[in-house]
Amino acid sequence: MLYIIGLGLADEKDISVKGLEIVKRAERVYLEAYTAILLVEKGQLEAFYGRPVIVATRETVESSSDEILDGADKADVAFLVVGDPFSATTHADLLLRARALSIPTRTLPNASILTAVGATGLSLYTFGQTVSLVFFTPSWRPASFYDRLAENARVGLHSLVLLDIKVREPDLAMLARGKIVYEAPRYMSASVAARQMIEVEEGVGPDDDMGRDAVEGRSEGVCTRGKLAVAVARLGSEGQKVVAGTLEQIASDEVERELGKPLHSLVLVGRRMHEVEMEALMDCAVDKTGWEETWRKEYNG
């Protein structure tokens, strides 16, 4: 049996009791470590499980899935996923491959950022579709997320924006010289996300001092500097942080420092934000008066 087991969001003790039993008895245990990370190191998981854990890279899962599935028709193999297995879409292939090999599978759900974001006080019933945002480069700035945000905004809904992480990316300069060297991992902060969102709204001029290619702004008013948003860091852990403010405030270096270590996510608030939601976030607002006034003028259900 192939078990795909959600680990939850914070540390080694967020696994379910049922999941832990399977991990302890499985023949091999893999940890998927490229779409999200726990806030603890692999060693801490191994100490807690009392057994070794094999880190599965994107390459292993995508091109050597048969290695993971080897013998899973007879013995149990556990494939651990940070958060909830279904909240990351990338494992459908592994399930399909298992099915093709007649290997039975079972999935153990767990906490996901998609629902843990309720800890902000925002109502989960007021969220529209979830979007994801990748790191921009000077010449590659995919902006289809803006269309999704616009669709949610038209209905008045909140949008959860999931942020890019880059682990084990080959260093292209080194690769050109024939060496495979991996860059240091990078995790997008909520502040960088806010900057990118404003950039898509406003565009980039021809003489950009950051060397970016010029591009026209979308100018539909979805990600203007004054729009309200909520940044979260390390949600579901004891050290979680929530900061509420305008996109411009969240884009600032101060908020980036305050949020601290990864993982971050961002919510672009919808027009339907209820007074109770606004008030629940008051203590987290960069500027309490501004937060409430903007809400009264432009949101307010």
Binding interface with a second copy (CB under 8 A): 6, 8-9, 11-18, 20-21, 84-87, 89, 92, 106-112, 114-119, 121, 123-132, 151, 155, 157, 236, 238, 276, 280
* Number of neighbouring beta carbons within 10 Å of residue 282: 14
As measured in angstroms, the least distance from the Cβ of 284 to a second copy is: 14
Of 97, 88, 31, the closest CA to residue 62 belongs to 97
Write the single-letter amino acid at 288.
Answer: K
Residue 235 labelled as part of a binding site: yes
Of 240, 154, 137, the closest CA to residue 196 belongs to 137
Residue 66 labelled as part of a binding site: no
Residue 198 labelled as part of a binding site: no
Residue 264 labelled as part of a binding site: yes
**Tokens of residue 283, six digits:** 């203590």
DSSP string, 91-113: GHHHHHHHHHTT--EEEE----H
Residue 163 labelled as part of a binding site: yes
As measured in angstroms, the least distance from the Cβ of 253 to a second copy is: 30
In contact, 38 and 25? CB cutoff 8 Å = no
As measured in angstroms, the least distance from the Cβ of 115 to a second copy is: 4
Q: Positive or negative CA dihedral for 264, 269, 273, 275?
A: positive
DSSP string, 231-246: EEESTTSTT-EEEEEE
CB of 5 or CB of 61, closer to a second copy: 5
As measured in angstroms, the least distance from the Cβ of 92 to a second copy is: 7
As measured in angstroms, the least distance from the Cβ of 34 to a second copy is: 18
CB of 20 or CB of 215, closer to a second copy: 20
CB of 41 or CB of 213, closer to a second copy: 41
Residue 263 labelled as part of a binding site: no
Integer Cα distance of 105 and 73 in angstroms: 9
CB of 13 or CB of 261, closer to a second copy: 13
Annotated binding site for S-adenosyl-L-methionine: which residue ranges? 9, 84, 112-113, 163, 235, 264
Annotated binding site: which residue ranges? 9, 84, 112-113, 163, 235, 264
